[in-house]
Structures are given as structure tokens and as C-alpha cells.
Structure 1
Amino acid sequence: MTSPIKNQIGSVFIPVSDIEVARDWYCSILQLSTEGEILFGHLFIVPMQGTAGIILDSKIYSPEKVFQTPAFQFITDDIEQSYQYLQENGVELVTGIENGQWFNFKDPDGNLFMVCK
């Protein structure tokens, strides 16, 4: 039998404590519109290229569930400019630029992410 499961990632869920604050923060960092519906009082879909989107979910949040290691990476063509952009926007940078290729940062809830060239 051929697997009916596709070799494709749909969406990624991110636990957030306040859906409106998270929506505004992610949309600001990614320069996206905050227009869109908060679904069922706890979900907001951030449209992304390459996946169906990031789903911010305040219903699954607890301090123990935040990402301690990057679950995925954001892609950039210019690692230095990306680092400077997040720094100028007050984002908590966890590492410097490592090997000229990547760095880690946290969202307001403490979820850890990576930007990679």
C-alpha cells in the first residue's frame, strides 16, 4: 500500500499566551497585515510561503510548552540584515550570528526560533 500521508508540512502550531499580542508581534516582525479573524477565540493563522501557515494558539499555551529548541527556521538571504532588523525591533536575540549562517531569537512568550541563511 502506498502511504496516503504526503511528504509535505502543512502548518506549525506555536503556543502563545495572548493571541492578540502574539498576532500583532508576529505580523509586525514579518511585516504582514494583522487583518484576519481570530478563530474560536484562540487561533490566528499567519500566512507563510512554503507552509500553509503558522498557527498561533493561545489554548495550548503553558510556560512548560514553549519551544526550548527551534521547531523550525525562518529563512533569509541576508543574515546580518536579519539580525540587525530584529535587534532594532527589540526582539530578544539569544545568540550572535553563528558561522555566518544562523542565529536564534525568542518571541514574547519565550518560544525559541532560528533564522538561517
Structure 2
Amino acid sequence: MLASPIRRHIGQVFVPVSDLARSAQWYAAVLGFEPAATSHDDTILDIPVQDGPRLALDANRPDFTADGPPRFFWWTDDLAATIEHLRRLDVRITSDIEDIGSVFFVQFEDPDGNPLMVCQRAA
């Protein structure tokens, strides 16, 4: 195997958005945080995370497309409560609960149609 100077550790995930203010409010409601100040001439908003890679909303790419599968997922300890939370917020849920053995998950979309996913470990 070849050695690589690249660490196998994700530093930050960027979610492309068209309207940073609208997306900031949506993600804040879904994830339960108060949006902080934006950076990079009001085009980047860092979302506070508990651990793992950082997450940022990125309004620098107005020509992005939101097609394709989810590019990351969040963990939950209670998928049923998570789905109820998403429904209360009128979030567009795009899949039924799926069981792939090791996890259960559901997919949904942000206001730009970015595919998102939340998973719960199987007992």
C-alpha cells in the first residue's frame, strides 16, 4: 500500500445553499442551535457540532445542483422522535424508515433540495 500525506479524517463538510439567511434559520430549527455570525463576506455559516467533522452552509456556489444521494448523515438516539420533529417543522421527508440491519434511517431535504439523512443504530 502506498503511503499518503493526506489524513483519513474529514475536517469540514460544506452544504451548498442559495439563500444563507433562510437556510441558517431552517438548519437552526432542525438541529436546535442559535445561528452565529457568518464569515467570508456573509457566504459561510458554521453550524456548531457536538463532535466529528465541522459543518458549514456555503452560499458561494449559486450554480450548484442538489441532485444525488445524501453526502453525510446525522446520528439520532430516537428516530421516531426525530421524524415527529421534522414533521412539526414541515420538513419534506423523502423516504420511509429504512432498516439495513445495522441502522435505521430516514431521508429528507433542506429548502434547496439537498438530500439529508438521519440514522439510528439498531439495537
Normalising by structure 1, report the TM-score: 0.88
Please list the CA deviations of residues 7-29 of structure 1 after superposition, one character each: whole Å capped at 9, or x if unmatched.
21111111100011111111111
Q: Which amino acid aligns with 1:35?
A: A
Q: Match for 2:4: what amino acid? A: S
- What amino acid maps onto 1:97 in structure 2? I
- Tell me which of 98, 107, 112 is aligned to 1:109: 112
Query: Percent identity among equivalent residues?
Result: 31
With the length of structure 2 as denominator, give the TM-score of the two structures: 0.84
* Deviation larger for 42-51 or 70-79: 42-51
Would you say the 8 A contact 1:104–1:112 is kept in 2? yes
AA of the residue aligned to 2:117: M
Alignment: residue pair count: 116
Q: Distance in 2 between matches of 1:45 and 1:67?
A: 23
Matching residue of 1:26:
27
Shift of 1:54: 1.3
Aligned residue in 2 for 1:81 = 81
Other structure's SS at 2:80 match:
helix
Q: Which moved more, 1:96-105 or 1:106-115?
A: 96-105
- State the Cα distance separating 1:2 from its structure 2 match: 4.6
Moved over 4 A (4+): none
Amino acid at match of 1:44: L
CA distance in 1, matches of 2:37, 2:56: 12
User: How far apart, in 1, do the equivalents of 2:24 and 2:116 lie?
Assistant: 16
Q: Deviations over 1:40-81 (max 9, x none)?
A: 22111112133342111111133x521421000111111111
Computed over aligned residues only, the root mean square deviation of the Cα atoms, in angstroms, reads 1.8
